[in-house]
Structure 1
Amino acid sequence: MSSQRIHVNELEGVMQCTLVVLLAIAGALVVAQQENGPKKKPASGKPTGASPSLEQLTVERQNEALNVSFAQAFPEDTPEEFQPLVVELYVRCQAELDNCAELLWASHLLREYRKCALTQRRFCAQEIQELQAELEAMVEAGREELALSPAEEDILSVLSH
């Protein structure tokens, strides 16, 4: 039984690393999109070398807040089989924030952007909580399935000798 625990612990370590890599990739994609996408448009006719505008700083703060929310909600020990769900939710939430940013770039209405971003982040926070609850339920169901009865443990010990 102890060899199975070691094997499970090794798998958990691999899963932790994989989640970190996936979140890092998702974050890098967001940063790359911000650098190459329409969000880098200057708010005015300033040269691109000028310091970031209030609009740009506000968008960056909202994106960073989303990253922090995900990092807190889904720690490194999130099982590997759930990582695609986490990444999918992150991408969807980031896309909604990007839509708010597009509104800002088109209208320059900072107050409206803040309302839009706040609303989207609230929706995302609710979805994060729902996904966390689903993942916890799935983990608990998996633990119940993996629990061996004393008779099964005896059989395993006999077979391993």
Structure 2
Amino acid sequence: MSSRRILVQEPEGVMKSTLAILLVTVGAFVVAQQNAPYQKPVSSKPSGGTQPTLEQRTVAQQNQALNVSFAQAFTEDTPEEFQLMVMELYVRCQAELDNCADLLWETHLLREYRKCALTQRRFCTQEIQELQSMLEALVAAGSEQVVLTPEEEEVLRALY
């Protein structure tokens, strides 16, 4: 009774740039939403003429820092089957930063916004690290060699 080793590999043809394209698209979408006029009648997002205000620049810098964090953590070679998890985390983190920005637009308390944004980015950094660890473990487990019994080999031959 011989056993054969089969190397389990990721599916061929995984698009390496899909994650980067999605991150750039979502980032552009978020920036476009930040620059749109705010709809609340009580207070509105400041609209500077040609020069963005300090508040707008600060929000844009925080959003850009989030984009950079994700781009560094999840490169273009992130397997396609994990990209949805990465996008969900990105959207959650961006939503939290948007909540901080809403606080800024309503109160104009820049210091409080910075505290809020820094706290949210720290939480997101922790979640990024946890997701990276989980993905590395899944990839490592997916590339382990599997030893099949003769019965399992017969089942595989019957399927293929």
TM, length-normalised to structure 2? 0.77
Corresponding residue for residue 4 of structure 2: none
Greater strand proportion:
2
- Does 1:142 pair with 2:139? no
Task: Classify 1:143/1:8 alpha carbon distance in 2 versus 1 (closer, same or farther; 3 Å).
Answer: closer
AA matched with 1:109: L
**Post-superposition offset of 1:130:** 0.5
- Where do 1:3-152 residues align within 5 Å? 10-12=12-14, 14=15, 16-36=16-36, 38=38, 41-42=45-46, 48-144=48-144, 147=145
- How big is the alpha-carbon RMSD for the aligned residues of Structure 1 and Structure 2? 2.8
CA contact (8 A) 1:38 1:102 kept: no
Q: Using the alignment, how far apart are the partners of 2:116 and 2:72 within structure 1? A: 23
Query: What is the number of residues matched between the two proteins?
Result: 142
Percentage identity across paired residues of the two chains: 64
CA distance in 2, matches of 1:27, 1:37: 18
Normalised to the residue count of structure 1, the TM-score between the two structures is: 0.77
Structure 2 unaligned regions, length at least 5: 1-6
Maintained 8 Å contact 2:31/2:60: no
Q: State the Cα deviation string for residues 2-46 of structure 1 (Å, max 9, x = none).
A: xx9xx968524x2x122122212211221221122539821xxxx
Distance 2:59 2:141 in 1: 40
Rounded to whole Å, the distance in 1 between the matches of 2:37 and 2:64 is 17
Instruction: Give the counterpart letter for 2:86 in structure 1.
Output: V
